[in-house]
Structure 1
Amino acid sequence: MSTRGPRGPYAKSAAKRQLILDAALAAYAEAGSRGVSVRDIGERVGLTDAGVLHHFGSREALLTAVLAARDVAAAERYGEEESLWRPDLLAENARTPGLVKLFVDLAAAGAEPGHPAHEFFTERYETLRARYTGALADGRAGAPQEREADAAWAARVLLAATDGLQVQWLLEPSIDMAADIARLREVLLAALHGTAQG
């Protein structure tokens, strides 16, 4: 069995697609809060708008792929465990407002079932809820069903707070997202482990 990667036109297409994704990630990371056009991305890789979209099918599919690539890069850099509340990851988000704005915009648009980002966000939240439920339930006393239910609630609250803080931060950049999420995490863990102060 051959272990070689794809060859011929498919390999070239896959390589070009990756080149476009890398260019788009860089464009959004550097963009600040202003938008990035398909033309901006195309200029970085020597393609027209149509040439860029040829590899993704639509602008929305391209932008969804950019967010997926961002998640992959973050997992490779920081690891998947507890990545949501890592201060260094949240601090990196604060250095890339263009990517944060893209995430917020697509998350809202992806609520529509027909949107190209719908499946991405549905799967992303299912995966994150499951991962953080497990992390938050670890070491907690009580019946398994109760632990799971409480940890699932805490995971939803933590995800909701993170996304909501990103919106507030776009409007008011002085907000320290990393510190706020770290503080919320401690409050939730204290509540789950029965050490919250009354």
Structure 2
Amino acid sequence: MTTSRRRPRVREETLRRREEILKAAMATFGSKGYHNGPLAEIAEQVDMTHAGILHHFGSKDHLLLEVLRYRDESDVAGLDGQHIPGGIDMFRHLVRTAFLNAQRAGIVQTYAVLSAESVTDDHPARAFFEGRYRTLRSEAVEAFEALCAERGVAVPASVRHASASILAVMDGLQVQWLLDPTQVDLGEASEFAIEAIVSAVLDPRPSPLGAVPVPTTESGAADAVDVDLPVEAATA
């Protein structure tokens, strides 16, 4: 009987300590990066030993992945089923997330640093970010398809570009905001970009850029491409 009473309390303490470690690791990795963020510094922040950190997470690589999952869970904590919604609600969620991120610079910095680092050879978070972006792009495509069906418009061929662009704009604005928050309004700028991209999918129009020269080919000639012209305009 005594053991059964103590077990929940022990588990609560373990979960609390794990969360403390995750928050400390997020701060360290966000300020110094993964490779330059020592476990000893993380351990010191939570008054533990290096061995104590490894007891909870097994390895530094595993701790990194748990930090990233913890960060993602915080984005959907208040959503039904803790999952990003579909259709127009997905894009509304992305806008709300941008405004929320403006109040949590530490989390944003950790994500920006680790996602940039993950493109390097043999980085332990590369597979995580590849999968994350693949999933988000797919969910955005599905949201666009649902939205187009709801509005009774054809799904344009550019929908995959639109999905990748929304994610790229959000991440790029986060970097600009981290560098100079006095000059970049993260929430407003993200909302502007997301609205523009969604509008372009729902109501595609001839590009104001016209034909844009692309970098020269091996022959030295520059090709010109039409920028996302709708089918009607391209065949007119």
**Shorter-chain TM-score range:** 0.7 to 0.9
| Gap runs ≥5 in structure 2 | 1-6, 209-236
1:177 corresponding residue in structure 2: 186
2:161 corresponding residue in structure 1: 153
CA RMSD between the two structures: 3.2
Q: Which amino acid aligns with 1:119?
A: A
| Residues 24 and 178 (structure 1), Cα distance of their counterparts in 2 relative to 1, 3 Å cut | farther
- Look up the SS of the partner of 2:131 in the other structure: helix
Work out whether 1:91 is the aligned partner of 2:99: yes
Measure how far apart 1:64 and its partner are.
2.6
1:51 corresponding residue in structure 2: 52
Distance 2:23 2:93 in 1: 24
Residue identity (%): 30
Distance 1:53 1:128 in 2: 31
Matched positions, count: 182
Distance 2:22 2:157 in 1: 37
| Gap runs ≥5 in structure 1 | 1-7
- Look up the SS of the partner of 1:188 in the other structure: helix
Distance 1:148 1:15 in 2: 52
Distance 1:114 1:179 in 2: 36
The structure that has the greater radius of gyration is 2
Measure how far apart 1:71 and its partner are.
0.7
1:189 corresponding residue in structure 2: 198
Q: Which amino acid aligns with 1:114?
A: D
| Residues 117 and 171 (structure 1), Cα distance of their counterparts in 2 relative to 1, 3 Å cut | same
Measure how far apart 1:165 and its partner are.
1.0
What TM-score comes out, normalization by structure 1 length? Answer: 0.74
| Residues 54 and 114 (structure 1), Cα distance of their counterparts in 2 relative to 1, 3 Å cut | farther
Measure how far apart 1:193 and its partner are.
1.2
Q: Which amino acid aligns with 2:64?
A: L
Work out whether 1:22 is the aligned partner of 2:23: no
Measure how far apart 1:195 and its partner are.
6.2
Distance 1:187 1:196 in 2: 12
- Look up the SS of the partner of 1:121 in the other structure: helix
Higher helix share: 1
Distance 1:149 1:50 in 2: 53
